[in-house]
Structure 1
Amino acid sequence: MKIATWNVNSIKVRLPNLLAWLKDAEPDVVCLQELKCVDEAFPRSQVEDAGYNVETHGQKTYNGVAILSKSPLEDVTRGLPGMEDDEQARYLEGLVPAGDQMLRIASIYLPNGNPAPGPKYDYKLDWMEKLAAHAEALLAYEEPLALTGDYNVIPTPDDVHDAAAWADDALFRPDTLKAFRTIANLGLTDAFRACHTTPHRYSFWDYQAGAWQKDNGIRIDHLMLSAHAADRLVSCDIDKYVRDWEKPSDHVPVWAELDFD
């Protein structure tokens, strides 16, 4: 079973790339972030024609998350529990068949948090605290779980081209890393790091200052797996080549293969 996450940075702009990648990569489940559209504006028919069921949690112009699955999703949750007053569409969760089991999977677009310190950073830390509480509740079910998405967190200096340049950024501040460790330490495995120890592999390159050409990137898109999913982890990688396509997102897909046979 192949699962993936991809911040497409506007589904309207990125639809041709998404459809091309779906055909090329053939994932079973894909979590998308930063749709930048309301639910009604999502190109549902084109994605369904590509063989996927679609669940969305969108909003106008900003944010927005989706889950595309070859099998219908069940028990769908829109919005992060504990953040009921949050008007930003950043969390979508559902159950998908995985062999003779079910995999619970979430598409997460965690707040950026800049400028930090400030209200946006406070919102980020609050959001991460609520995510930790919800993750702990989900882990109590002792079922395969994948919390995937754009976490807007650089976990370690190995995940950034120039750590010093990001030292004061909301993606790499000590409080951010502490909050991320709190989530991971609940019993979640970073799928990419479980498969690769090589430093400086990235999932995001800014559009500015030739970041892509210089490989000046960061790894902020993560597949966090419960023990019941991590035990089935076969492989994980980053489809870096997609960043070289015409009109690319500044993020690329990250995927993992899980063996549920």
Structure 2
Amino acid sequence: MKAATWNVNSVKARLPNLLEWLDGFQPDVAMLQETKTVDENFPRLEIEERGYKILAHGQKSYNGVAILSKHEIEDPLIGLPGDDSDEQARYVEGTISGIRFASIYLPNGNPVATEKFPYKLGWMNRLKVRAEQLLQGEGPVVLAGDYNVVPMDEDVHDPAGWADDALCQPESRAAYRSILNLGYADAYRIYNTAPHRYSFWDYQGGAWQNDHGVRIDHLLLSPQAADRLKASGIDSGPRGKPKASDHTPVWIELAA
């Protein structure tokens, strides 16, 4: 089974690129973030024509997550539990072929000196609670998405230049590690140890052309999922396409 996560930065604006990637990479499961559309306007027809089921949780112009699957999506969960007042569309979860998948768009948190950073940390705490609950089922779990966290300095092209950013704050990194410490594994790092490999490059300042990026898109695996991991990587091809998202897909392959 091939699965991938991709912040598409508007599913409608990137639809030609998304469809080209689906046709070429042929993921069994694709977890999308920043779809930026309400559910009734999600481009279902074009995606369903390629054999995918769709579980979407969107809102107008902002946020939005989805799971695309070639197999049935069972027991869907819409929204991250723990705060009924949170209306931002950042989390969706479902079971596919016995594996629990989540598509996650974690808050950015910038500027740090505003209410956005405490919201980010609070959201991460709720995610940790949910991640721990999922481990109790003792089945394979894949928590995938745009975490808006740079785990270590080796995951950013210019650690000093990014030191004040919410993505690199000690509190953000500690919250991310606390999820790993529950027993989850960073799928990319299991097979890829070289530093300075990225999944996001800003549109400004020639970041893509100069490989000035950060690694913020992650697939975290429960022990049962990690035991089935055969390969993982970053597919940088879509980032070089015309009208590309500023993110690129990160993928895994799991044994049946």
**Bucket of the pairwise TM-score, normalised by the shorter protein:** over 0.9
User: How far apart are 1:117 and its partner, in Å?
Assistant: 2.6
Matched, 1:26 2:22: no
Q: Which letter maps to 2:227?
A: D
Q: State the partner residue of 1:16.
A: 16
Q: State the partner residue of 1:113.
A: 109
5+ residue gaps, structure 1, are: none
Worse-superposed segment, 2-11 or 78-87: 78-87
Distance 1:94 1:140 in 2: 16
Q: State the partner residue of 2:153.
A: 157
Deviations 1:207-238 (A, max 9, x none): 00000011000000000000000001000011
Q: State the partner residue of 1:53.
A: 53
Q: Which letter maps to 2:48?
A: E
Report matched runs for 1:184-203 at 5 Å: 184-203=180-199
SS for the counterpart of 1:166 is coil
Matched, 1:253 2:224: no
Q: State the partner residue of 2:89.
A: 89
User: How far apart are 1:118 and its partner, in Å?
Assistant: 2.0
Q: Which letter maps to 2:145?
A: G
SS for the counterpart of 2:99 is strand
Q: State the partner residue of 1:73.
A: 73
User: How far apart are 1:49 and its partner, in Å?
Assistant: 0.2
User: How far apart are 1:72 and its partner, in Å?
Assistant: 1.3
Q: State the partner residue of 1:126.
A: 122
Q: Which letter maps to 1:161?
A: H
Distance 1:211 1:89 in 2: 28
Q: State the partner residue of 1:167.
A: 163
Q: Which letter maps to 1:47?
A: I
Q: Which letter maps to 1:108?
A: I
Distance 1:139 1:120 in 2: 29
| Alignment counterpart, residue 241 of structure 1, candidates 210, 224, 237 | 237
Distance 1:38 1:78 in 2: 14
5+ residue gaps, structure 2, are: none
Report matched runs for 1:206-217 at 5 Å: 206-217=202-213
SS for the counterpart of 2:193 is coil
User: How far apart are 1:50 and its partner, in Å?
Assistant: 1.1
Distance 1:181 1:118 in 2: 23
Deviations 1:20-58 (A, max 9, x none): 000110100000000000000100010000110001000
SS for the counterpart of 1:12 is coil
User: How far apart are 1:83 and its partner, in Å?
Assistant: 2.4
User: How far apart are 1:242 and its partner, in Å?
Assistant: 1.1
Number of residue pairs matched by the alignment: 256
| TM-score of the superposed pair, with normalisation by structure 1 | 0.97
Distance 2:163 2:83 in 1: 28
Deviations 1:139-187 (A, max 9, x none): 0111000000000000001100000111010000000001011111100
Q: Percent identity?
A: 60
Q: Which letter maps to 2:167?
A: L
Q: State the partner residue of 1:64.
A: 64
Give the RMSD, CA atoms, in angstroms.
Answer: 0.5
